[in-house]
Amino acid sequence: MGKKQITLKDIAKALDISISTVSRALKDLPEISEETKIKVRKFAKEHKYKPNVLALGLRTNTNNTIGIIIPEIVHYFFSSVLSGMQEEAEKEDYNIIICQSNEDQLREVKATQILLSAKVCGILASLSKTTTEFDHFQEVIDNDTPLVFFDRICTGINTDKVVVDDYNGSYNATEYLISTGCKRIAFLGAGPNLAISNNRRMGYEDALRKHGMPVDKTIMPICDTISLAKEVVPELLLRTNRPDAFFAINDEVASSCINIIKSFGYHVPQDISVCGFTNGNIAEATDPSLTTVDQRGHELGTIAMELLIGRLKGKEKKEGVVNKIIRTKLIVRESTK
C-alpha cells in the first residue's frame, strides 16, 4: 500500500547520518567513504528511492520537459512528427508535454502561456492555419525559452526552423508527371496563408516553366479538403480541355480525386494521372495505389527535437539561427504512368 515516496531525509534518519551525506553518496562523490556509500545505496535500492523532480526543478529552475504546439494530432503527418519527437526526447531523457491548437490562433496563444508557466525548457511549434499575429511567440523568445518552428514556420520570428523541402518535393513530382507524358497538370492547392502551400505551388510552376509548359491559373484551384474536391474536380473534368493529371496538396484530396475520376469513366493512370503529398496510410488503400511525395514526418520530428535539445545543452553557443531542410522523396506507385 502506497507509502509516500521515500526521501533523502528518510534515508538519513534510518541510517543515522546527515542528508547531505546521503545525497553525496548517491551521486558517488569521492569524498564519501566506500562503506557509507554501500550502506546508502543498499537502503535506497531496497526502498526504491527516486529523487523528487520537483525539488530538483526548483533548484535548477528547469524540469527537463519540452513543450510541443501542434495544429492537429489526428493527422498522419503531424502524428508522425510527434512520434519522432517523442522518441528522440525519450532517448535524451526529456519529457514532452503537448498542446493542440486545433488550427485556432486563440488556442495557440493559450498554449504558449500554458507551456511557459509550466516552465518547459524549450518549445517546438507549428503554426495553426489561422494564425496571423505572432506576439505570443515573441514572448517565448523574450522569456529566454528556446523555440524551434517545424513545418509551418513563422518567418517573422528570429529563431531556428526545420521544414520539409516542399518546393523540391513539388518540383520533382511535377517533373516526374511531365516525364511520363502528362501535358496538362492541374494543381489542387491550399490557401495563401501558409508558406508551405506557396512553396509547393512555386515548385510546381517552376517545373512547368522549365519544360516550356504554360502555367494556367484556371487549373490551380484552392482545393485542400475532400469536400472541396467533390466540387472542384468534377468541374475540371467536364471542361473541353480537361487535365490529364492532378497534383494534390495532400493524400486525402488525391484519393478523393481518384475516385471521382473513376466515377466519370476515366482510367487512372491511363487517362489521367494522380499524385498526392504526404505518403500517409491512405496511399496504399486507394485503387490504384497512390504515387505521392513522402513528407518524412518522423525524421522531421526527430531532427527538430535534436536541434532543440542541442540548443539546451550547449546554451553558450549562440551560432545564429539554424534552418534545416528535410529532403522529401517521391514514392511512385500505380496512380501515375
Sites of contact with a copy of itself (CB under 8 A) = 1-2, 4-5, 50-55, 57-58, 61, 63, 65, 72-76, 79-80, 82-83, 86-87, 90, 95-100, 114, 116-119, 141-144, 226, 251-252, 255-256, 258-259, 262, 280-282, 284-287, 289, 298
Least CB distance to a copy of itself at residue 145 (A) = 8
Q: In Å, how far are 165, 232, 327 from 203, measured between CA atoms?
A: 10, 22, 14
User: Which of DNA, a copy of itself, none is residue 179 near (CB under 5 to 8 Å by kind)?
Assistant: none
- The CA-based diameter of the chain, rounded to the nearest angstrom, is 92
Q: What are phi and psi of 142, to 5 degrees?
A: -60, -25
Q: Is 13 in the site for DNA (CB under 7 A)?
A: no
Q: Is 38 in the site for DNA (CB under 7 A)?
A: no
Are the C-beta atoms of 291 and 276 separated by less than 8 Å? yes
Smaller CB distance to DNA: residue 69 or 120? 120
Least CB distance to DNA at residue 4 (A) = 7
Q: Is 121 in the site for DNA (CB under 7 A)?
A: no
Q: Is 143 in the site for DNA (CB under 7 A)?
A: no
Least CB distance to a copy of itself at residue 122 (A) = 13
Least CB distance to DNA at residue 116 (A) = 13
Interface with DNA by CB under 7 A: which range of 4-12, 99-107, 182-190, 254-262?
A: 4-12
Interface with DNA by CB under 7 A: which range of 32-40, 86-94, 145-153, 207-215?
A: 32-40
Least CB distance to a copy of itself at residue 280 (A) = 8
Count of residues near DNA by CB under 7 A:
29
How many degrees, rounded to 5, is the angle at CA 268 between CA 264 and CA 273? 110
Q: What one-character-per-residue DSSP string does 89-147 give? A: HHHTT-EEEEEE-TT-HHHHHHHHHHHHHTT-SEEEE---TT----HHHHHHHHTT--E
Smaller CB distance to a copy of itself: residue 87 or 206? 87
Q: Which of residues 61-120 bind DNA (CB under 7 A)?
A: 61
Smaller CB distance to a copy of itself: residue 69 or 153? 69
Could you tell me the three cell numbers for 256?
478523393
d(CA 210, CA 268): 26
Give the 3-state secondary structure of 7-24.
Answer: CHHHHHHHHCCCHHHHHH
Q: In Å, how far are 55, 155, 165, 233, 234 from 202, measured between CA atoms?
A: 52, 17, 12, 21, 25
Smaller CB distance to a copy of itself: residue 22 or 261? 261
Q: Dihedral (C-alpha) 273, 164, 250, 185: value to the nearest 10 degrees?
A: -30
Give the DSSP H/E element, type plus range, for residue 293.
Answer: strand 291-294
Quote the DSSP letter at residue 189.
Answer: B
Could you tell me the three cell numbers for 212?
516550356
User: Which of DNA, a copy of itself, none is residue 203 near (CB under 5 to 8 Å by kind)?
Assistant: none
Q: Is 241 in the site for DNA (CB under 7 A)?
A: no
d(CA 103, CA 156): 19
Amino acid making up residue 269: P
User: Which of DNA, a copy of itself, none is residue 72 near (CB under 5 to 8 Å by kind)?
Assistant: a copy of itself
Least CB distance to a copy of itself at residue 211 (A) = 31
Q: Is 14 in the site for DNA (CB under 7 A)?
A: no
Q: Is 23 in the site for DNA (CB under 7 A)?
A: yes
Site residues (CB under 7 A) for DNA?
A: 4-5, 7-9, 16-21, 23-24, 26-27, 31-33, 35-36, 49-52, 55-56, 58-59, 61
